[in-house]
Copies of this chain bind each other. A is one copy, B any other.
Amino acid sequence: MGKKVLIVGGVAGGASVAARVRRLDESAEIIMFEKGPHVSFSNCSLPYHLSGIVEDSEKLVLMSPDIFKSRYNIEARVQQEVIQINRDKKTITVKDLISDKTYEEGYDKLVLSPGASPIRPNLEGIDNSNVFTVRNVVDIENINSYIKQKGMKDIAVIGGGFIGVEVAENLKLANYNVTLVEFANQVMAPFDYDMAQILHKEMVDHGVELILDDGLAKISDGYITTNSGRKIDAQAVVLAIGVRPETNLAKEAGLEIGETGAIKVDSNYLTSDRDIYAVGDAIEVYHRLLQKQTRLALAGPAQKQARVAADHMHGIPTRNIGVIGSSSIHLFDLNAASTGLNARTAEQAGMMYDYVYLMPGDKVGLMPDSNPMHFKLVYEYPTGRILGAQAIGKGNVDKRIDVIATMITMNGTLEDLKDLELTYSPMLGTAKDVVNHAALVGLNLLKGRYKEVKVSQVRELVESNAFIIDAREQGEYNTGHFKNAVNIPLSEFRQRLDEIPKDQPVYIHCRSGQRSYNMVMALQNLGYENVYNISGSYLGVNLYEYFNDLVTGRERIVTEYNFK
């Protein structure tokens, strides 16, 4: 008889440990305990049930206890809550949620994969029957049947992280009036504010009511009230303000808890007890860029941790390279992806960094469905080490972010990135891929070959009446321009140098930055010392300002928005 392995939690991490242990040891006795009615469901696909993209909620369940048993000889016990770990006896106490009886089960090795639970703030109306959270298949079925039965019209989603945004999107696709309330000034924390503005616009353009810088204060019958006093119609409320690692079991068993509040593990995902492993959303992991412990609730890392834990249990050498945080989201017509640090997290960590923002086409311009891709690359200053990237667009932006994730993992620099030889065909990309392009721009900045101002600094330039050159052709200028910009096309500036002052800073932009870059370089060559490229250019600034102007009603800095 082999060893007895018990696993607490039967979703991503737990199910992966179980399957791996079976492959390594046919004789092991493996039992998985799951509080809910399902093991191994597709966590990340839950929101898609609300729009009907996944019409049949049963499909969200990837494997039944029967299949675990017949294929893998793994016992998956559902609706069984593990309520205590008895480390001295090497047993766990389990409560059968159907019979309400408790029993003990002994282990040789125990694996904790209890996940994280949605945070429910303590406020008026939070326990109403129309207030939901999203953690499992039952939750999403409950939301779906509730809103369908009552002939619901207005739904409020609280929280603009992955789950909140995806729930809002899918509810909108199902034609509800959806209001998303987010406490921060942006949705989707993996993105910087400038990139998030593109997501804000996408949501607003698709009819989601977006309320930022505001929080949920009170839930009443038929409406909610925000911290700022705003009342919003809502016959149902979905809470998605964050998750908290499930640590009660570990804490009560005296297992060490880390400073982040999650279970502390060693490099093999062993807890402070040599016979107890922990994986998934309940643990803290090492962030290799921030060089400290962090929490990261993602499916991919959970699966990797599961494998390491199972391997270590069986004497197979493992390694742990930490995490960098890579994720993506599909949002209406856009894809958005990010990896590593963004400028905000780099700033908060006190790191030396700079970034470039550019928006080339996602494929050859004359191919069908060619669209601008918005790409931001964050790198360490002065080393040029790649720290992170964000990309948003209609095309395959995740491809570019996966390349950056690979570069970060392999300790790549801008110099490495510029030399990458990537695939290209006109339907799938451009000969100079955006990642190569971004590296070249980054190197130019790093080496001081030219200077730029960021998209967030342009309003101040316009309002202070700085000397701004619009390097586009006149026809383009006429479709919308910065209010004080002087139109000197790249094609004319050599004949109009007398219009460009040498005794004050000159800021140059075009549509997406390519032409202005050429003009900046030429002027520098001609002896201009104070020339700046406007990062993001007209297209980027429009996207940056649009949503804010919509919300605040403040005066636009452009005569017309232009998103093409």
Interface residues of A (CB under 8 A from B): 12, 19, 22-27, 42, 44-45, 48, 53-54, 59-60, 67, 70-73, 298-304, 307, 319, 321, 323-330, 335, 337-339, 364, 366-368, 396, 398-399, 401-403, 405-407, 409-412, 415-416, 418-429, 431-433, 436, 440, 490-492, 494, 515, 517-518, 521-522, 525-526
Residues of B within 8 A of A424 (CB): 44, 298-300, 326-328
Residues of B within 8 A of A418 (CB): 304
> Are B300's CB and A431's CB within 8 A?
yes
> Are B422's CB and A416's CB within 8 A?
no
- In the complex, residue of chain B having the shortest beta-carbon distance to the beta carbon of A45: B426
> Are B44's CB and A423's CB within 8 A?
no
- In the complex, residue of chain B having the shortest beta-carbon distance to the beta carbon of A471: B71
Report how far A304 CA is from B59 CA in the complex, Å: 48
Report how far A337 CA is from B72 CA in the complex, Å: 35
Give 18 CB contacts A-B under 8 Å. A24-B525, A60-B366, A70-B491, A70-B492, A71-B515, A71-B518, A300-B421, A300-B422, A304-B436, A321-B419, A330-B427, A335-B427, A337-B423, A402-B433, A405-B423, A406-B420, A406-B422, A407-B410
Given A45-B426, A422-B402, A423-B401, residue A73 in contact with residue B335 (CB < 8 A): no
Question: A300, A407, A440: which has the most chain B beta carbons within 10 Å?
Answer: A300
Given A406-B407, A426-B45, A427-B330, residue A300 in contact with residue B73 (CB < 8 A): no
Which one of B25, B307, B323 lies within 8 Å of A421 (CB-CB)?
Answer: B323
Which one of B398, B426, B428 lies within 8 Å of A48 (CB-CB)?
Answer: B426
Nearest Cβ distance between residue A411 and chain B, in whole angstroms? 8
Residues of B within 8 A of A399 (CB): 396, 398-399, 402
Report how far A308 CA is from B200 CA in the complex, Å: 40
Residues of B within 8 A of A59 (CB): 366
Residues of B within 8 A of A71 (CB): 490-491, 515, 518
Report how far A526 CA is from B328 CA in the complex, Å: 42
Given A26-B526, A71-B518, residue A304 in contact with residue B410 (CB < 8 A): no
Residues of B within 8 A of A335 (CB): 427-428
Residues of B within 8 A of A301 (CB): 421
Report how far A270 CA is from B236 CA in the complex, Å: 70
Residues of B within 8 A of A70 (CB): 490-492
Nearest Cβ distance between residue A296 and chain B, in whole angstroms? 9
Question: A25, A410, A416, A515: which has the most chain B beta carbons within 10 Å?
Answer: A410
> Are B409's CB and A416's CB within 8 A?
yes
> Are A425's CB and B327's CB within 8 A?
yes
- In the complex, residue of chain B having the shortest beta-carbon distance to the beta carbon of A304: B419
Apart from A73-B494, A328-B425, list 17 A-B contacts with CB within 8 A: A23-B522, A26-B522, A26-B525, A45-B367, A53-B367, A53-B368, A59-B366, A71-B490, A307-B440, A319-B419, A325-B421, A326-B424, A328-B423, A330-B427, A405-B422, A406-B422, A410-B412
